[in-house]
């Protein structure tokens, strides 16, 4: 598991572009989901539970593989999962994904999660990244080949 830095350093709280200025979210990836964690998703210290974030990443990560597989899929592996910064109640989380591999029956996707925080002086922070593999399954839950065009 990745290391969680507490509190975040000033460099981590700069906009993604690296320079002060307007909010900038990543290019070259598809926005697949946005969600704002609520108080019920937090632990006693006010940070969002890692398991809640993992569940959201799994949901977001499934969007592109379901399109590629043209049907039902199931998570088969979490290949990497790194928590880079804590997430707080009120952060607006944006989940970006890109397909990194398409196999005979499986699709691997890379997901990055960014938090938009501090509405008075907005900044964007990369809080999580993960690589997950999904397998295309038939109505009986058995692996099936992914259609090729």
130 within some domain: yes
Whether pLDDT at 69 is above 50: yes
Kindly state whether residue 3 falls inside one of the protein's structural domains: no
Which of 123, 110, 113, 55 minimizes the C-alpha distance to 87?
Answer: 113
- The mean pLDDT value for 22-39 works out to 82
* 143 assigned to some structural domain: no
In a domain, 145, yes or no: no
141 lies in a domain?
no
Round the average pLDDT of the chain to a whole number and report it.
Answer: 87
The proportion of the chain whose per-residue pLDDT surpasses 90, expressed as a percent, equals: 75
Higher pLDDT, 57 or 10: 57
How many structural domains comprise the chain? 1
Give the pair of three-digit tokens for residue 82.
């790194």
Look at residue 115 and give its three-state secondary structure.
strand
Whether 110 contacts 130, CB under 8 Å: yes
Contact between residue 70 and residue 102 where contact means Cβ atoms under 8 Å apart: no
CATH number of 118's domain: 3.10.129.10
The tens digit of pLDDT for each residue in 89-136 reads 999 999 999 999 999 999 999 999 999 998 899 999 999 999 999 999
Residue 82, in any domain of the structure: yes
* Structural element, H or E, at residue 108: strand 106-117
Q: What percent of the chain has pLDDT over 70?
A: 81
Does residue 112 form part of some domain?
yes
Q: What is the extent of the structural domain holding 33? A: 10-16+26-136
């Amino acid at each position: 598991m990745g290391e969680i830095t507490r509190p975040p350093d000033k460099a981590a709280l700069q906009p993604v572009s690296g320079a002060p200025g307007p909010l900038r979210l990543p290019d070259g990836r598809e926005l697949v989901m946005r969600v704002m964690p609520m108080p019920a998703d937090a632990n006693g210290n006010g940070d969002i539970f890692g398991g809640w974030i993992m569940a959201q990443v799994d949901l977001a990560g499934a969007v592109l593989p379901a399109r590629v597989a043209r049907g039902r899929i199931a998570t088969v592996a979490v290949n990497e999962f790194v928590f880079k910064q804590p997430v707080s109640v009120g952060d607006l989380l944006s989940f970006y994904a890109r397909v990194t591999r398409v196999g005979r029956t499986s699709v691997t996707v890379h997901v990055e999660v960014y938090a938009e925080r501090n509405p008075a002086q907005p900044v964007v922070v990369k809080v999580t990244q993960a690589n997950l593999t999904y397998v295309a399954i038939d109505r009986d839950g058995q692996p099936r080949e992914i259609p090729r065009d």
